[in-house]
A = this chain, B = another copy of it.
Amino acid sequence: MLISKGKNHGLHMFVVPIRDPKTLKPYPGVIVGDLGEKIGINGVDNGFVMFNKYYLPRENQLDKLGGVDENGDYETPFKDPKKRFGASLGILSGGRVHITTISTNYLQKAIVIAIRYSAIRKQFGPENSIEEIPVLEYQQQQIRLLPYLAATYAMRIFCNWFSASHVTMSINSVDDDGPARGIELHALSSCIKPLFGWTARDGIQNCREACGGHGYLKAAAIGELRNDNDANCTYEGENSLLLQQTSNWLLGIWPKRYETGIADTPYGSIDFLKNVDQLLNEKCVANMPEELTNHITLIKTYKWLTAYILKMTYEKVTRLKAEGKDNFQAKNDSQSYNAVSLAIIYAENFVLNHFYQTAIKFEDAACRGVLLDLVSLYGAWMLERHLSSLYMGGYMSGEMGWWLREGVLKLCARITPQAIALVDTLAPPDWCLNSVLGTADGQVYKNIQEHVMTYPGAMSRPTWWRDVVFWQTYVPSKL
Contact = CB atoms under 8 A, between A and B. Distances in A.
Nearest to A141: B240
Interface in A363-405: 387-389, 391-392, 398-402, 405
A208 B223 contact: no
A240 to B, nearest CB: 5
Contact of A240 (B126, B209, B222, B451): B209
Interface in A39-64: 39-40, 48
A220 to B, nearest CB: 8
B461 A24 contact: yes
A219 B405 contact: no
A157 interface: no
Nearest to A205: B201
A91 B471 CA distance: 36
Contact of A216 (B230, B389, B457, B459): B230
Interface stretch (A264-272, A329-337, A423-431): A329-337
Interface string A16-29: 00000111110000
A231 B216 contact: yes
Interface stretch (A30-38, A97-105, A174-182, A281-289): A30-38
Interface string A227-241: 100110111001111
A469 interface: yes
A335 B141 CA distance: 10
A111 interface: no
Given A36-B458, A399-B392, A216 B234 contact: yes
A451 B36 contact: yes
A182 B227 CA distance: 39
A217 interface: yes
A31 to B, nearest CB: 8
**Majority secondary structure, A binding face:** helix
Contact of A36 (B138, B140, B217): B217
Nearest to A329: B126
Nearest to A140: B335
A168 interface: no
Contacts of A453: 33
What number of copies of this chain does the assembly contain?
Answer: 2
A469 B208 contact: no
Interface string A112-132: 000000000000011100000
A218 interface: yes
A310 interface: no
A455 B36 contact: yes
A468 interface: yes
A469 B127 CA distance: 70
A400 B312 CA distance: 14
Given A231-B216, A388-B391, A139 B332 contact: yes
B33 A459 contact: yes
A35, A222, A401 interface centre (most CB from chain B within 10 Å):
A35
A327 interface: yes
Nearest to A388: B387
Interface string A447-462: 0000111010111011
Contacts of A311: none
A144 B340 CA distance: 12
9 contacts: A24-B469, A35-B452, A36-B219, A38-B223, A39-B217, A140-B241, A140-B335, A389-B401, A391-B392
Given A21-B469, A140-B332, 14 more contacts: A24-B465, A25-B461, A35-B455, A35-B458, A36-B458, A39-B217, A48-B452, A126-B329, A201-B205, A213-B234, A213-B235, A336-B405, A387-B391, A389-B401
